[in-house]
Structure 1
């Protein structure tokens, strides 16, 4: 967005001169600064100039119940007045944290009855990965600490979680990453599978790769496998049919903990409280969550784990779990989560997300016929459009084409926010989305793609 004509003390200028944003792209930021958002209501945002946008990104995969809910604001205010903060370490708790832990145990699948509260998704995953080592050490297997993840995965931005994740574009030479004890398997992207393979053969190959890694490294050195049920920031990757369950079965055979990273997929994104068991038939040992837990109203994450893990760690009563955060179990954040879950239950938003999500899939599918579009994929309320230079070979445009950002810029000018990631335009709208709003997204995005396609052709980019 072009810089407005502002005075030095205006919000745009303050931000431009003083803020370092997550994933700042320094060149464009120095030239253009930021889009200043002033308010939000439902699925909509307004900038400081008064322009309205339908937020098809859902904030950052998180504004599930929509913005501007007065009962959420009231619940937060009431709790802040009653108890704004309380120490949650060692042997102290508070009402909202205790009630939320019990509620999450009720909603989570199987025996996942224990909860560790964090400040967000990164810290939930960070704790889960370290708990793998703690659990196996407590069982007398101190070398069983390794973690297996996938290529093009995203699991957070702490030192440890960014090392475990390996999304294209996240690894930069200016940072260092942990490499020992972390292994990455092939991304289970059916669209990018080898041309000679069926999807079923691709799935067989992926599972065999995991088995081969275990044989090479040794099951006594691998403690955990981590997977997003649907890889979100890595490109809305829905794995081949049966893949996740088969990978879970491999974990079961080799005593490897299965961590389901549901920071995005939990709390309704694809129509379930949690996707692992309900959608993919997998009973994880640990689930990590955040985002939709409070619908973005306040920061909060939760690592939910099994009674079996608790029993092993607690055996003998002599160990300390020396990990925690000042804001773990924050009473105001937990009160927000409880009210958020109450709204999702009362308004039937899981069923609504499944219904409107199916309509969303149907309305977006025809975009695959556009010359610039190679693939439209996703499930329910997490979808993306992948741009290609050649639909047959699936070759990508050169990075300088910057087509996904250009598409999002054109859509923004027409009142629609979508998220450009690499060669993708990603969408994760609130669960309260309506069918007319779906129509607006599909129609506006089509116009934006067509306009950018024409511009690329005029500039000499070849589209096959």
Structure 2
């Protein structure tokens, strides 16, 4: 019996509404039902083994079998399964996790507030931007700038920041207070002969012009992923963030780093901000914070911003914000143990050790007839497919070229993610050199098979 024909699959089709899914298509094809995990592998209900080459959704950084994290969760559930952090309450796991995060944080970030998801962390950052500017007598600075092809979450506010059209279609207009500027993708947005430095300079000038046209007195913050993940693993061109931040400082605009995907070693640095030169006023993190063993996120805040927020909370009689499960003791305990494991494993050094072979293998695929651009950093990478390499022409949408390659890989035991014309990959950070070569070999074979199937 196939997984799609099992009783469990039929129950799923009948009753489970899947996010980020064509729901009618799901009724026809059903789910791939994953039953268990082991290291970087997951197994479906029929026992087929897959390399989980996307770490789930960028998040299972330590793989799918860490008894140490499970034991911490169980122990905390027995000791204290829940406690709020509102109104002068706290508990050991939240206090210790806050201290540990700040010990690892980029310079200048001194306070932490907890939530349960990356989207909630982004929403909290948006509210803090408004709260901060109102407190310093500039309540008009409520508008936000993000980039085209950015991904910041799926709540109403976070999805409005997100610069992917499919996240807006059918939901009505995004919040009017968000402005999207050009995606920093040289391959698609660069002019003929334009260098990375020239491209960065042009984008900074375009940003400043956008700010001037909108009115600097209306812009509160600029939100950016160090490396754009769901948008297709887009790396910023050389000098980009230095030039962008110079513009932001000129007009008193806060810099918010969205590290939900990039944080905790993914780029070969503890924070993606360190890889690309961001000096954030606030920083969001989630996913790798607990290695996906528990839902938890954090917003890290600079002392400069915190002092203003603290004074305003006193003036107003309290900070009118918070989530029931923010700083949940079980999630916090697991996250704290995750950070300890990162240190003990020296996960950043491990990523730096294995990433060069991974990136070299990805770059070698750039010569394949289907590949327009191969790109990546650390243990995240993407292949963008084109119908014509010279003209950089995309395939018609109905060809679903990336999905074709993904389907072949899934058949052969490798799970990667198709996003439009791009195939993205982000394996667990514990992956070893041999497992990387397994992915690269399967990927090359899948490209050849798909190309052969397209010939007249």
Q: Aligning the two structures, in what range does the TM-score lie when normalised by the shorter sequence?
A: over 0.9
Q: Does structure 1 residue 288 correspond to structure 2 residue 284?
A: yes
Question: Counterparts in 2 of 1:172-183, with a 5 A limit?
Answer: 172=169, 174-183=170-179
Partner of 1:118: 115
Question: For 2:389 and 2:147, how far apart are their aligned partners in 1?
Answer: 26
Match of 2:35 among 31, 34, 38: 38
Match of 1:264 among 241, 258, 261: 261
Question: Counterparts in 2 of 1:255-334, with a 5 A limit?
Answer: 255-276=252-273, 278-315=274-311, 317-319=314-316, 320-334=318-332
Question: For 2:150 and 2:214, how far apart are their aligned partners in 1?
Answer: 21
Shift of 1:228: 0.3
- What is the DSSP-based 3-state SS (H/G/I as helix, E as strand, rest coil) of the residue aligned with 2:383? strand
Partner of 1:74: 71
Shift of 1:180: 1.9
Partner of 2:57: 60
Q: Does structure 1 residue 409 correspond to structure 2 residue 410?
A: no
Higher mean displacement: 53-62 or 163-172: 163-172
Match of 1:224 among 217, 221, 242: 221
Aligned residues: 453
- What is the DSSP-based 3-state SS (H/G/I as helix, E as strand, rest coil) of the residue aligned with 1:355? helix
Q: Deviations over 1:292-317 (max 9, x none)?
A: 00010010000001111111112262
Higher mean displacement: 262-271 or 174-183: 174-183
Question: For 1:190 and 1:351, how far apart are their aligned partners in 2?
Answer: 29
Question: For 1:288 and 1:241, how far apart are their aligned partners in 2?
Answer: 23
Shift of 1:149: 0.5
Question: Counterparts in 2 of 1:347-366, with a 5 A limit?
Answer: 347-366=345-364
Question: For 1:3 and 1:74, how far apart are their aligned partners in 2?
Answer: 31
Question: For 2:346 and 2:434, how far apart are their aligned partners in 1?
Answer: 19
Partner of 1:462: none
TM-score normalized with structure 2 length: 0.97
Partner of 2:339: 341
Question: For 1:149 and 1:141, how far apart are their aligned partners in 2?
Answer: 20
- What is the DSSP-based 3-state SS (H/G/I as helix, E as strand, rest coil) of the residue aligned with 2:235? coil
Shift of 1:5: 3.4
Partner of 1:461: none
Partner of 1:159: 156
Shift of 1:336: 0.5
Question: For 1:61 and 1:21, how far apart are their aligned partners in 2?
Answer: 18
Question: For 2:197 and 2:442, how far apart are their aligned partners in 1?
Answer: 36
TM-score normalized with structure 1 length: 0.95
Unaligned runs of 5+ in 2: none
Q: Does structure 1 residue 142 correspond to structure 2 residue 139?
A: yes
Match of 2:182 among 164, 181, 186: 186
Question: For 1:168 and 1:349, how far apart are their aligned partners in 2?
Answer: 35
- What is the DSSP-based 3-state SS (H/G/I as helix, E as strand, rest coil) of the residue aligned with 1:184? strand
Question: For 1:196 and 1:431, how far apart are their aligned partners in 2?
Answer: 36
Shift of 1:457: 2.2
Question: For 1:56 and 1:17, how far apart are their aligned partners in 2?
Answer: 29
CA RMSD of aligned residues (A): 1.3
Q: Deviations over 1:181-234 (max 9, x none)?
A: 211100000111222422222111100001101111121110100000000000
Question: For 2:345 and 2:395, how far apart are their aligned partners in 1?
Answer: 43
Partner of 2:205: 208
Shift of 1:155: 0.4
Question: For 1:121 and 1:179, how far apart are their aligned partners in 2?
Answer: 19
